[in-house]
Amino acid sequence: MSSHSKSPKKIVKTPKYHRSVFGNTSPSNSIFAGSNGILSPNFNVVNSKSGWNSSNLFKKDGSKLSINKSKDRTSISITAKHSSLALASKSASLASTSSKNRTLGDLFNERSENKKDDEPRKLRRTNTSELMDRFIPNRQTTSGKLSIEKTKSLPSFAMPLDHIENQKNEFYQNSVAEACGLEVGQRILKFQPLPPDSKHNSTQNSTTETTDSKHLRRVSSFNSNFRSRSYISTNAAQARIKKIPLCPEKVLDAPGLVDDFYLHLIAWSNDNLLAIALDKSVYIWNANDGSVNLITECETIITSIKWSPDDYYLSIGLNSGIIEIWDIEKKSKIRTMKFNNFLRIAAQSWNNFNLTIGMKNGEILNNDVRISNHLIDKFLNHSSEVCGLSWRSDGLQLASGGNDNLVNIWDYRKSCSPIFTKTAHNAAVKALAWCPNQLSLLATGGGSACKKIHFWNSNTGIRINSIDCESQISSLKWGYSNGIGQEIVSTHGFPNNEISVYSYPSLQKTGVIMEAHENRILNSELSPNGTILATISSDENLKFWKLFDTPPEVSTDAMLTTADSKNLGKVMTIR
């Protein structure tokens, strides 16, 4: 409808409308309110050389404009008899085309005091004090002079609270982490609050996973395969198979090796010293010069050995439930730790100065070797002998496997109960291996009634994938091969006594050594540079196999050397 329409118009009487604008530059023209409520230019104000003079201008409807000018201040007063001004009109009345030196205070110094009773209220101007307490102003309430561009109001459904609520959803968190290639729950600082409780029942069987868990496992597996190819090329696979040796690089005779699947009788240090337990004795074979040295002869059968993280000390577990710690350089025993149960210690794992041991009754004992009262914690959830223990490289999580077919994942800050207990294996779990390139990836292998390798995400407890090896699994090690990338090797007992190599994550079999030993393979260790695999068997042989290439991050200083190249392939004896 035109502004000149003769239809009756409601006039709202309000108190006088007053504004004050301060600045140093005088406007060349001004506008004031007409009777129809629209600001329109009705007159011009001329600037004289001597400055502004006080003047009053009137309009027929009684509207009045007063201008007063001093040396450093200009005051403009508007009195509107019928003040039903729209916000856009008010904004226009203040926007002078020549006000180049005006400040934020000049633009936002006034505030509307009028309210309409018959129309919905329009966008209201805010004063400076409401805007200057934020680094980013609210564009919905600021003038166009300060906005780079006009923005529309956010839709009603785009509420921050909805986004925050979604972040609490476990499936949402894991999906985002997988898409970004990050670890869920990854910590930056070492000292943290207690970890959250397990999202799943600790005794829940992995075969009864929730719908979200099953879906996330499929998404996780797909994303991993997509990032590093679902399958390796045929040429690369054939080239890899040709690199698998048919014969060992070296063979050492190991008479007196105890034929027990649950024991750990071999350990290889970063200084290239290989320790092996033969009955009641411990020997050190130096891979740098080929020398062999007897360290100790114990009173009872040795059931496990393990190097400390600094490679200075060797911990020896006995069948009588005693731990002896030896200084290898000095060939002296520096500590003996006795336990009340007098049960054999089949598994060990170091975490800085803490030595964690697995007992025959299912107890896991954490000991600080620096203090007299060495027992500092117990991990209780196994009902049978603990035959596998492995701390993650960052020392935050511990994996344990037992003769009760369980795999437990523990958080070092919450040892009262495991964060996850997995029951997917149908036999004893001795083989445990943390992936060196992905901290949350854990591989576990089952015994003769299981014959499967399972891959777990230790942060979520989800099983990522599995391999049916059709043979008892005694050990698992991660390696690297040029042209293939990440691989995992498994050693086997009955019935095949073989060594198998699989690419990861495609899980293609890239190599196999059939009948690597005459009898079942009991355990294995990798050389410091990750290229040579040492295996021991109940046939009393210690064999060395060149399986992998040097990983890109490993220097060649730790390469395995031998005393004499002509001794390669020659059978030697440790004793």
Tokens matching residue 361: 């009754």
Tokens matching residue 132: 């200057």
**Fold matches, 232-259+430-549 and 262-394:** yes
Q: Taking a C-beta distance cutoff of 8 angstroms, is the pair 467, 439 a contact?
A: no
Give the whole-angstrom CA distance, residue 174 versus residue 171: 5
Pairing of strands 571-573, 250-253: parallel
Q: Which of 81, 103, 82, 107 is nearest to 93 (CA)?
A: 107
Q: What is the pLDDT of residues 81-110, one digit of tens each?
A: 544 443 334 444 444 444 445 554 554 455
Mean pLDDT of the region 172-176? 75
User: Is 38 a residue whose pLDDT tops 50?
Assistant: no
User: Alpha helix locations (H) across 263-388?
Assistant: none
Q: Taking a C-beta distance cutoff of 8 angstroms, is the pair 513, 498 a contact?
A: yes
Q: Residue 97 to residues 20, 29, 37, 88, 405: CA-CA distances in angstroms?
A: 18, 9, 22, 16, 83
Q: Which residue has the higher pLDDT, 179 or 434?
A: 434
Element (H, E) at 87: helix 87-94
User: Is 288 a residue whose pLDDT tops 60?
Assistant: yes
Which residues, listed in sequence order, are joined to residue 542 by a DSSP beta bridge? 252, 536
Enumerate long-range contacts of 569-573, CB under 8 Å, 24 or more apart: 569/247, 569/248, 569/249, 569/250, 569/251, 570/250, 570/251, 571/251, 571/252, 571/253, 572/250, 572/251, 572/252, 572/253, 572/290, 573/252, 573/253, 573/255
Q: Taking a C-beta distance cutoff of 8 angstroms, is the pair 292, 283 a contact?
A: yes
Length of the chain in terms of residues written: 575
User: Is 153 a residue whose pLDDT tops 60?
Assistant: no
Give the whole-angstrom CA distance, residue 407 versus residue 422: 5
Q: Which of 285, 252, 273, 295 is nearest to 573 (CA)?
A: 252
The confidence band for 136, taking pLDDT boundaries of 50, 70 and 90, is low
Q: What is the pLDDT of residues 441-453, one digit of tens each?
A: 999 999 999 999 9
Q: What is the pLDDT of residues 363-416, one digit of tens each?
A: 999 999 999 999 999 999 999 999 999 999 999 999 999 999 999 999 988 867
Architecture of domain 262-394 in this structure: 7 Propeller (2.130)
Which residues, listed in sequence order, are joined to residue 286 by a DSSP beta bridge? 273
Looking up tokens 């445990």, which residue turns up?
A: 432
The answer for residues whose C-beta is within 8 angstroms of residue 409's C-beta and 6 or more apart is 397, 398, 399, 418, 419, 420, 421, 422, 442, 456, 458, 461
Out of 3.90.950.10, 3.40.50.970, 3.40.720.10, 2.130.10.10, the CATH code matching 232-259+430-549 is: 2.130.10.10
Mean pLDDT of the region 263-284? 97
Question: DSSP secondary-structure letter at 540?
Answer: S
The domain limits of the chain are 232-259+430-549, 262-394
What pLDDT shows up at residue 539? 95
Task: Tell me how far the alpha carbon of residue 564 is from its chain's centroid.
Answer: 46
What percent of the chain is predicted at pLDDT more than 70?
Answer: 57
Sign of the CA dihedral running 544, 550, 551, 555: positive
How many Cβ atoms sit within 10 Å of the Cβ of residue 225?
Answer: 15
Give the whole-angstrom CA distance, residue 76 versus residue 52: 11
User: Is 123 a residue whose pLDDT tops 60?
Assistant: no
Give the whole-angstrom CA distance, residue 98 versus residue 106: 13
Quote the mean pLDDT of the chain: 75
The confidence band for 570, taking pLDDT boundaries of 50, 70 and 90, is very low
What pLDDT shows up at residue 206? 39
Q: Which residue has the higher pLDDT, 220 or 358?
A: 358
